[in-house]
A and B are shown apart, each in its own frame.
Chain A
């Protein structure tokens, strides 16, 4: 792996012609544990979508050292998962093996121990045959973390993974995040709980459409930077002039 896991070069991401992330520069080191912080509408989720490749930059470049997309494990915010679909926890988690088994590779008895271990690691043993529609919000999030575990990816992107999740579940899942960090995986997590960031995440990228600060968490999350981030203008303006750097 190179010296950077993700490199942002003058990255502008947006919807239509309106930038949600504006001229972002920066590098995320391999094996680092980074929180992305910023006010609502700051472009945090948009930035992750750009990294996954779901959104093409309007300008600039995002380079990944991991290469292929199957090497990214991505947990979107308020996932578009159809919870009425008749599928069980076991099958949902097993989909995490896609990267290693691919489109047609069998997922059978040989993989069973790994899938069961992942389900056990998130504390959902006994729920294997439950339909996903019957899970609570926290249980669902646990199941999705089990799927992330199976993806076994060097780069893990989490978008607000602890929203509306109780303290116990958050603590358990945060333990998995720490474990990934210990295993030298690169983890980038969008968060809004500043205390959690200070407690667990060594590095922070503070954005408010534009990059405010990026570096050691304690330095980044100082009062001046937080104030700066809060001043961001939220509304997109149809009559805004064309950006001088575009």
Chain B
């Protein structure tokens, strides 16, 4: 029995370096993606995260056009494009009558089409698949350092701005009446979102990077009552999904990135069904009412 468990859970990581690297990458990604995802969800920006993930593509594609699959160029390009789209859609929302959702949708569709076109101009379909879905099983030192650095900076920055960030979600008018930090915090948060998407893009690609943010966060909402609990649960779920997804992909020869997101998605469905905080079963069978 212990031998079986070893074979199933540990051997892949012990025997293969690329699996260890993938595990480290996935765990580091999940560590920062957990809290970022929870705040995106609580700020009703879940789809914003998705849109920004697409927006990274043309920047990364231009990096690819200039340098091939060279990490710094892809990263820088993606980061610049992501921040540019976030700022541009914010500006359009403020100056015109277009709502934030509509202006983001406009920009990300534009970005996605532009990005795919640019990659296709030089690369093959394999390159396109790399950019769209990532290469979690081929993370080199540079990619791991980048992911680790982004996770470190994210956690530090979130700790520093935790209070205004929470307050900006709960009661923006109050925050505005006591401090001018609101705008800065919103901007800093958007930059962190883009940074994490860029980090995730190495491993999971532009289309799935946001999955490790949103799925664990959405799951956590069904288990915890307060923000702190949600962040802990989301981060834990994300890390478990990373490890479990890699194992599934190893044993059953599934593509690794999608396997990770599928596990996270499975965790979401389970949470939706049995979660104690307004999960479907709890809603259907609330139990008999109390005295007070």
Contact = CB atoms under 8 A, between A and B. Distances in A.
A91 B173 CA distance: 17
Contacts of A103: 161, 163-164, 179, 181
B227 A86 contact: yes
A81 interface: yes
Interface in A173-198: none
A87 B170 contact: yes
A58 to B, nearest CB: 19
A118 interface: no
A233 to B, nearest CB: 27
A117 interface: no
B167 A95 contact: yes
- In the complex, which range does the number of interface residues on chain A fall in? 20 to 34
A161 B116 CA distance: 55
Contact of A80 (B160, B171, B181, B225): B171
Contacts, number: 69
B244 interface: no
Nearest to B220: A86
A151 B178 CA distance: 9
Contacts of B160: 104
A72 B227 contact: no
Q: Is the interface of A mostly helix, strand, loop or mixed?
A: mixed
Interface in A131-154: 131-132, 147, 151
Contacts of B173: 54, 76, 79-81
B169 A82 contact: yes
B179 A87 contact: no
B80 interface: no
Interface in A48-80: 52, 54, 69-70, 72-74, 76, 79-80
A41 interface: no
B178 A92 contact: no
A74, A85, A99 — which one has the most chain B CB atoms within 10 A of its CB?
A: A85
A74 B227 contact: no
B227 A99 contact: no
Contact of A95 (B161, B174, B176, B181): B174
Contacts of A92: 170-171
B226 A87 contact: yes
A191 to B, nearest CB: 20
Contacts of A147: 174
Contact of A86 (B161, B176, B230): B230
5 contacts: A54-B177, A69-B178, A80-B171, A80-B172, A104-B160
Interface of B: 42, 160-161, 163-164, 166-167, 169-174, 176-181, 224-227, 230
Given A91-B166, A95-B167, 12 more contacts: A69-B180, A70-B179, A76-B173, A80-B172, A82-B169, A86-B225, A86-B226, A86-B227, A87-B166, A103-B179, A103-B181, A104-B160
